[in-house]
Structure 1
Amino acid sequence: MTKKLWNAVVAGGAVAVFTAMAAAPADAATGAVSYSQLSINGGKPIVIGIQETVRVPVTFRMTTSRTWRWPPVVYLYRGKGDYWESDSLRSGFGASDDYCPTKGKGSCVINDGWLSISPTVLDANGFAGTWKSGAYLSLPKDDDVSTDLKRSVQVQRATRVTVNAAPEPVVKGKTITVTGKVSRANWETGTYQGYAGRTVSLQFKADGASSYTTVKKVTSGSAGALKTTVKAAKSGTWRWNYYGNSTSGAKASTGDHVAVWSGVRVMHAPRVMHAR
């Protein structure tokens, strides 16, 4: 995955975009460059599927005594080698240049930066897990400074969860069977595959309620299948909720509504017609 960094600026626009992948950061003090007020995806894990490029919000403040040729680029990396040797994870980085011009010196503030990651750069499921974060600053005369931002980021494989509750409607006290499936992205095959052995919560929200309540927990089968039964008590919506783990994102299914009725029919007296 190690590649040299290329820089490109959108001509005439307010956005600078930096593509390809950088490499390993050096010591944070190298080159008199420091970073503060850092936020990558608001501290939340980065969840990536099999098709859509994920755009992650990034903010930071850079302070340096050096003159730069290009604004800093944030990326994720693993390893501790030099610029050319460690793996780096990024499809592109961009930001408004209102606060961080193409050429400058001193402080530089990025309030609306983004780190983009395409599933096409994820050719191994082992990429899921903990990554370090770094920043690359391009200097004149082909010089540069790479800095360890000392902030870890969790990268996760996206999950999908489905649900079906039947029969519907159902008589109160009868059995409702709730089925579904939990699967997760396989970056090596470009497909979603059943995720076995996962603890998934069956949740219910009664009509008129504002939130779901966990009814029971079920372990997914060998192909990620989910199945359980409950007694019909009141009308409402059923869903499965998987809370994720260090390498797989959290995901709840959509809801499936089931109407519950008493089963008692109201008999109306026949209408009597009077002859005139």
Structure 2
Amino acid sequence: MRQSYTPSVPELRAFIACAQHGTTTMAASNLNLTQSAISRSVASLEQRLGVILFERVRKRLTLSPAGHAFLPKAQSILASLDDAAVGIMAFGGGETVLRIAALPSFGRAWLLPKLAPFLKQHSGIRIDLTARLSPVDFSTDTIDIAIMRTSHIPPFAETIPIMPEKLVVVAAPFILGDRSDLDDQSLLNLPLLQQSTRPTLWLDWFKSHDTDPRRALRGARMDHFDMVVDAAIAGMGLAIVPDIIAQPALDRGDLAMATKRHFETGDHYTMITPVGGMSQTARLFIDWVQTGIAGCPKTDGAQ
């Protein structure tokens, strides 16, 4: 039988503790083990790998060059095991996990307010929610439902539309003063906040005008719409954002509409599931959401 060169978890823990504390005695105290158990684990690991991991000088342990190279890898391995263990604990108690990947800002504005009442009705379900800007790959990602725009639909997926994407231009009230319903030229005279993952939004807004693109593309840049909204509230400039994301700040009075005009991108926010692979938990959530979306049609075919 071929010898295994894969270290055991006790060996990795003993090695890392010795590297951190410098003696087997202190490592043993930290791990609540005996000093001899730590020594055996380190010796076993060195024999398994065929290298010296520590230089032993006056009862102190100093990492050898091989030990220095191995330490970050050993720490990463244990951290990954810990993460996997914590993740799998979500299955405890017979509960079912619903894994959702959502666009960060839309997820915050639209999805999060819906989760509490859903979980109250379905107490045996736990939510594993991931912020995601890129399309999912259901063949490799452990995701039940992706909540994205239609431009993010992967092959072999089914979709359930939520709402069209409608962009509005907003600003802090003190930036606008007594002005309202600004024309495009007035908008261009104010700082325009940029969304770095969708850099053409202002160009799309001004596409019907003969606008110098350099004027439309200058301004502070942020990754997420939430950050753009916060920057607008702080008075850094005008924000062009989906209306559903701007609405809470508009309701609070932290933002005001800079113009009555809006812009529909042609994209829809949609729930995306794998063809023929929808879990029962995902179906429960989708059915529950659809009851609250007037005229929300189902799409059975692949997109």
Tell me if both proteins adopt one fold, taking TM over 0.5 as the criterion: no
Q: TM-score, normalised by structure 1?
A: 0.22
Q: TM-score, normalised by structure 2?
A: 0.21
Q: Which has the higher strand share?
A: 1
Q: Which has the higher contact order (CA 8 A, sep 6+)?
A: 2
Q: Which has the higher helix share?
A: 2
